[in-house]
Amino acid sequence: MADALKIGVAGLGTVGASLVRIIRERQEKLEISCGRAIEVTAVSARDRTRDRGVDLSGMTWFDDPLDMARNADIDVFVELIGGAGEPARGAVTAALERGLHVVTANKALLARNGVALAALAEEKGVLLNFEAAVAGGIPVIKALRESLTGNTISRIYGIMNGTCNYILTRMEKEKLSFQDCLTEAQRLGYAEADPSFDIEGNDTAHKLAILTSLAFGCQISCDDIYMEGISNITQEDIVAAAELGYRIKLLGVAQRTEGGVEQRVHPTMVPHDTVIAQVDGVTNAVALESDILGDLLMVGPGAGGDATASAVLGDIADIAKSQPGVQTVPALGRPAKTLEPYKRARMRSHEGGYFIRMRVVDRIGVIAAIARRMADNQISLESIVQHSTNGDREAPTKTIIMVTHATTEQSVRDAVNAMESDGYIVKKPQVIRIEKP
């Protein structure tokens, strides 16, 4: 039996405390599966006095994670601090430089510094594992990095933010407004006090950027992601989507196109009878489309202390089972130096179907004018529905809902701009992209 694998855990929030507790409670089980014991020998957090409900006896305490990375008697540095900057970045870098394996759940750190950290890990011959950084307990990193070796991926998309999916699910099931659902999500602890990072799509974008690199063999580029959040989604959109056979999800999508790789995060209509459309509440889902394997969809918990700790533990177990000191699996699926530069496909070249909902003045000729603008931009309509006229006698308005066949973002933008300048549109039109499996 090999020596125990010694772990240092930096960050004792929900995930860190859960991880320390689980490793302590399941010593025997872990030793049987991994062929060696796993032992937390060091921890680091800001507040030494806080009761985290776990027994930290026998572990060396470090106030500073950088100090732990440099000096603790450990084989693996587990980073659960969060954030792209300090102290996470410096501590992880120091740990890798020292030749420690690193496990992290930090999507922001990887989205910003993933390639450099992967290169450093490879140079030092250690593992950099980060299953928990994307979609929590769903083993999508392992699937991309290991199971799909040799495949060419054409598209990857998913529901990767539980807060948004919870809000959209509640809006649909309970017929509540976005704001009401957000307030409830905050009350239940599913949304932060400042929810903008989740609901505007940044969180999904960070995760998508990591998956894009793994899927397409390119460098990570999270500043090149087209991003729209869900705060503009209304009951009217949800109802119209249902009538047309769709549900609205916040998707992150990365797709290989002729012009490069598209990366986009936006509210999306998905056909009601698809598997991903049935993924409700805080649950996450990631779909991978590849040329040899075909389509793979994974559904599971995207967050939560235990689910995230389980993913971290899986990463630690992989290290325990590997030969000490020998890095074998490149962090981003191929050596960092072989990653191609990210070539961004322009959003206006995006091709797909669109849902367009507009409130227009109710007068003769408006529908004809709309139809002409669509035709001018080569947009073919799958359906057009006119909803009942608004009760205002002075200035009657009506709602027009259109679903287009596949067209381009540029065409839709041009058509909408032209209609806006025509003067019959009462308020900013709602445009939602459609994604089909």
| DSSP-assigned states of every residue in 252-299 | EEEEEETTEEEEEEEEEEEETTSTGGG--TTEEEEEEEETTTEEEEEE
The set of residues, in sequence order, having a beta carbon less than 8 Å from that of 376 and lying 6+ positions away, is: 415, 418
- What is the rounded CA–CA span in Å between residue 360 and residue 17? 55
Q: Least Å distance between CB 274 and a copy of itself?
A: 7
- What is the rounded CA–CA span in Å between residue 359 and residue 45? 54
Strands 101-104 and 76-79: parallel
Q: Least Å distance between CB 247 and a copy of itself?
A: 12
User: Quick check: 186 and 172 in contact, CB under 8 A?
Assistant: no
Among 16, 87, 137, 229, binds a copy of itself (CB under 8 A): 137
Q: Least Å distance between CB 240 and a copy of itself?
A: 21
Nearer to a copy of itself, 290 or 399 (CB): 290
Tokens of 179: 């704001």
Check residue 196 for interaction with a copy of itself (CB under 8 A): no
Tokens of 356: 């367009």
275 belongs to an annotated ligand binding site:
no
Query: Which helix (H) or strand (E) segment is 40 a member of?
Result: strand 38-44
Check residue 322 for interaction with a copy of itself (CB under 8 A): yes
Among 334, 344, 372, 387, binds a copy of itself (CB under 8 A): 334
The set of residues, in sequence order, having a beta carbon less than 8 Å from that of 30 and lying 6+ positions away, is: 23, 37, 38, 313, 317, 320
Closest CA to 161 of 253, 262, 251: 251
Check residue 300 for interaction with a copy of itself (CB under 8 A): yes
17 belongs to an annotated ligand binding site:
yes
Check residue 310 for interaction with a copy of itself (CB under 8 A): yes
Q: How many residues bind a copy of itself (CB under 8 A)?
A: 60
Binding segment for a copy of itself (CB under 8 A), chosen from 93-101, 275-283, 363-371, 424-432, is 275-283
Check residue 267 for interaction with a copy of itself (CB under 8 A): no
Among 175, 335, 348, 406, binds a copy of itself (CB under 8 A): 335
Identify residues 156-185 at the interface with a copy of itself (CB under 8 A). none
Among 47, 258, 273, 394, binds a copy of itself (CB under 8 A): 273
10 belongs to an annotated ligand binding site:
yes
Among 29, 363, 428, 436, binds a copy of itself (CB under 8 A): 29
Check residue 142 for interaction with a copy of itself (CB under 8 A): yes
User: Quick check: 138 and 323 in contact, CB under 8 A?
Assistant: no
Check residue 149 for interaction with a copy of itself (CB under 8 A): yes
Q: Which of 124, 142, 173, 207 is catalytic?
A: 207
One symbol per residue from 217 to 256: x for binding a copy of itself (CB under 8 A), - otherwise; what is it? ----------------------------------------
Cα-based torsion angle of the residue sequence 28, 18, 302, 170 in order, rounded to the nearest 10 degrees:
130
Check residue 304 for interaction with a copy of itself (CB under 8 A): yes
Tokens of 314: 């899986």
Check residue 134 for interaction with a copy of itself (CB under 8 A): no
Does the active-site annotation cover 207?
yes
User: Quick check: 371 and 405 in contact, CB under 8 A?
Assistant: no
- What is the rounded CA–CA span in Å between residue 198 and residue 181? 14
- Name the one residue in this structure whose structure tokens are 């099931």: 173
12 belongs to an annotated ligand binding site:
yes
- What is the rounded CA–CA span in Å between residue 146 and residue 141? 8
Q: Which residues are annotated as a binding site?
A: 10-17, 107, 192
Catalytic residues: 207
Binding site for a copy of itself (CB under 8 A): 22-23, 26, 29-30, 32-35, 131, 137-139, 142-143, 146-152, 273-275, 277-279, 290, 292-301, 304, 306-307, 309-311, 313-314, 317-318, 321-323, 326, 328-330, 333-335, 338
Annotated binding site for NADPH: 107
